[in-house]
Amino acid sequence: MGVTGSGDPEITWPVPPGQGWYADDLDPIPDLPRHTELLDGVLVFASPRTAFHSDAMFLLESTLARTAPNHLAVQRQMTITLGPRDRPEPDLLVIKADAQTGPKGIFRKALELSVPFEIAIDLTAIDRRP
């Protein structure tokens, strides 16, 4: 069940249940945009990524993968179940290598994380330079 977005009859937004969404609800919701996250029971839709962002993520991912010890693995853009109502999608994850689920894995549990922190950099000043 959904609500049609104003001005565009082709987009149908999912209507949350009365108690909000739960982490287990995220995958079965049909036609969600790519990189949809769940934060505090609310669906959060990602904005398009810039070429700069893509290049930076590639460099960081390849460097981490090349230098990480064998017991760690680097994965890109997979959601993490942090709690019953939270499944954020960080750009990169460093996980225990033995926690890999193969090509069909679509999300991680918080206990599989090896380095549980996020690097946040405000690139607004860099993006707006002439």
**Cα 40 to Cα 37: distance, rounded to the nearest angstrom:** 10
**Tokens standing for residue 95:** 């996980």
Question: pLDDT digits over 79-98, tens only?
Answer: 888 889 988 888 888 888 87
- pLDDT > 80? residue 43: yes
Question: pLDDT digits over 44-71, tens only?
Answer: 998 888 888 888 889 999 999 999 899 8
- Sequence-ordered strand ranges (E) for the chain: 2-4, 12-14, 37-39, 42-44, 72-76, 79-81, 92-96, 107-109
The CA–CA distances, whole Å, from 68 to 34, 72, 74 equal 28, 6, 8
Does the global pTM surpass 0.85? no
**Cα 83 to Cα 89: distance, rounded to the nearest angstrom:** 13
